[in-house]
Amino acid sequence: MIGRICGTGSYIPSHRMDNVELSSLVDTSDEWIRERTGIQSRHLAKQETVSFMAAKAAEEALADSGLKAEEIDLILVATSSSETVFPNTSCEVQKAIGAVHAWGYDLNAACSGFILALNTAQSYIRSGLVKTALVIGAEKMSRIVDWKDRGTCILFGDGAGAVVLRGEESESAEAVYTAMAHSAGDKGEALTLQYGTEETPVIRMDGQAVFKFAVRKVPEIIEEMLKKADVSREDVDYFVLHQANRRIIEAAAKRVGVEIEKFPMNLGEYANTSAASVPILLNEMNRDGKLKRGQKIILAGFGAGLTWAGCLMEW
Ligand code: ACO
Instruction: Residue 303: give its domain's CATH number.
Output: 3.40.47.10
268 and 296 inside one domain: yes
Last residue of a domain, one of 168, 193, 228: 168
pLDDT tens digits, 204-253: 999 999 999 999 999 999 999 999 999 999 999 999 999 999 999 999 99
Q: Which atom of ligand 1 is nearest to the CA of 307?
A: 50
Sign of CA dihedral 73, 78, 83, 87: positive
Last residue of one domain, picked from the residues 168, 198, 231: 168
Whether the CB-CB separation of 54 and 162 falls below 8 Å is answered with yes
- Which residue among 30, 35, 40, 210 is best mutated to probe the pocket of ligand 1, counting the most ligand atoms within 8 A of its Cβ? 210
pLDDT of residue 101: 98
How confident is the model over 263-288, as a mean pLDDT? Answer: 98
CA-closest residue to ligand 1 atom 15? 151
Whether residue 310 is predicted with pLDDT greater than 90 in this model: the reply is: yes
Looking at the 3D structure of the chain, how many domains does it have?
Answer: 2
Q: Under 8 Å CB-to-CB from 134, ≥6 apart: which residues? A: 58, 61, 62, 72, 74, 75, 76, 93, 99, 102, 104, 162, 163, 164, 165
Q: pLDDT digit string (tens) for 108-167?
A: 999 999 999 999 999 999 999 999 999 999 999 999 999 999 999 999 999 999 999 999
Query: Are 24 and 164 members of one domain?
Result: yes
**Domain shared by 76 and 146, yes or no:** yes
ipTM (interface pTM):
0.93
Looking at the structure, tell me whether residues 15 and 44 fall in a common domain. Answer: yes
Residue 64 pLDDT > 80, yes or no? yes
pLDDT at 121: 98
C-beta neighbour count of 228 within 10 angstroms: 13
- Find the domain containing 77 and state its range: 2-168
13 and 139, same domain (yes or no) = yes
150 and 112 both lie in a single domain: yes
**Does the Cβ of 191 fall within 6 Å of ligand 1?**
yes
Check pLDDT > 90 for residue 302: yes
> Looking at ligand 1, which atom is closest to the CA of residue 111?
50
Ligand 1 atom index nearest CA of 28? 1
Is there a single domain that holds both residue 191 and residue 293?
yes
12 and 156: one domain? yes
- The residue among 168, 188, 214 that closes a domain is 168
If asked whether residues 126 and 229 sit together in one domain, one would say no
Task: Find the catalytic residue in 242, 245, 283, 286.
Answer: 242
Q: Give yes or no: residues 75 and 217 share one domain.
A: no
| Ligand 1 lined by 219 (C-beta under 6 Å) | no
Mean pLDDT check: name the lowest of 28-37, 136-145, 167-176, 293-302: 167-176
32 CB less than 6 Å from ligand 1?
A: yes
Taking only the tens place, the pLDDT of each residue in 33-58 is 999 999 999 999 999 999 999 999 99
For the Cβ of 154 lying below 6 angstroms from any atom of ligand 1, the answer is: yes
Task: Looking at the structure, tell me whether residues 179 and 271 fall in a common domain.
Answer: yes
Which atom of ligand 1 sits closest to the CA of residue 210? 41
Q: Is residue 199 very low, low, confident or very high in pLDDT (cuts 50, 70, 90)?
A: confident
Q: Is the pTM of this model over 0.90?
A: yes
Do 149 and 42 lie in a common domain? Answer: yes
Given the residues 19, 43, 108, 111, the one annotated as active site: 111
Rounded mean pLDDT, 7-13 = 98
CA-to-CA separations, 72 to 78, 119, 156, in angstroms, rounded: 17, 17, 31
Place 291 in a pLDDT band, splitting at 50, 70 and 90. very high
Element spanning 255, H or E: helix 246-256
* 19 among known catalytic residues: no
Average pLDDT over residues 71-77: 98
User: What is the band of 170 on the pLDDT scale with cuts at 50, 70, 90?
Assistant: confident
pLDDT number for residue 197 = 73
All residues at 6 or more sequence positions from 143 whose CB lies less than 8 Å from its CB, including other chains: 45, 81, 83
145: left (phi over 0), alpha (psi -120 to 50) or beta: beta
> Is 164 in contact with 62 (CB distance < 8 Å)?
yes
Cα 156 to ligand 1 centroid, rounded to whole Å: 13
